[in-house]
Amino acid sequence: MAGIRPSKIFPSISACTWLNQGHNLIITGPTGVGKTYLASALARQACRQGYRSAYYHFPEIITKLSLAKADGSYPALVATLANRHLLVVDDWLRDPLTPEQSRQVLDLLEDRYSRRSTLLTSQLPVAAWHEQFKDDTLSSNELR
């Protein structure tokens, strides 16, 4: 995949019109197929077109949210992340979440829903995501 521009592969996605509509994108597959490469290329393309983007590896955003909760900067961090045109989370749900982490992540995604776009890459198929949320009150049928 090296050297191939996303505009050659996915013209409608690389045009970033999905960002204007608050649509989300999920890229799943095994290690080594180019999920991170594609997500990075799409984030760069969004930036070139004037969209504000943020890119996080899943453990990094979990740590950042937890630390912000502890030091009182959580509302400001969530507001900043909620307002990025594109939030990329690489290796989504790589590790199971504690109940507190589940609430933090789902609150962030809820703040973004239908307003801003989120791109998730994951080695797990979507059907397996439910098991990663360890809070029974949050892992409802909606996540299955």
- 82 falls within a domain: yes
Q: What pLDDT shows up at residue 141?
A: 47
* Interval 77-127: pLDDT, tens: 999 999 999 999 999 999 999 999 999 998 899 989 889 999 999 999 999
Q: What pLDDT shows up at residue 38?
A: 94
Give the separation between CA 87 and CA 92, rounded to whole angstroms: 12
Our count of domains for the chain comes to 1
- 71 falls within a domain: yes
DSSP readout, the chain?
-TT--HHHH-HHHHTTHHHHTT--EEEE--TTSSHHHHHHHHHHHHHHTT--EEEEEHHHHHHHHHHHHHHT-HHHHHHHHHHSSEEEEETTTSSPBPHHHHHHHHHHHHHHTTTSEEEEEESS-GGGGGGGB--TTTS-GGG-
User: What CATH code is carried by the domain that includes residue 21?
Assistant: 3.40.50.300
Prediction pTM value: 0.85
- 142 falls within a domain: no
* Interval 36-86: pLDDT, tens: 999 999 999 999 999 999 999 999 999 999 999 999 999 999 999 999 999
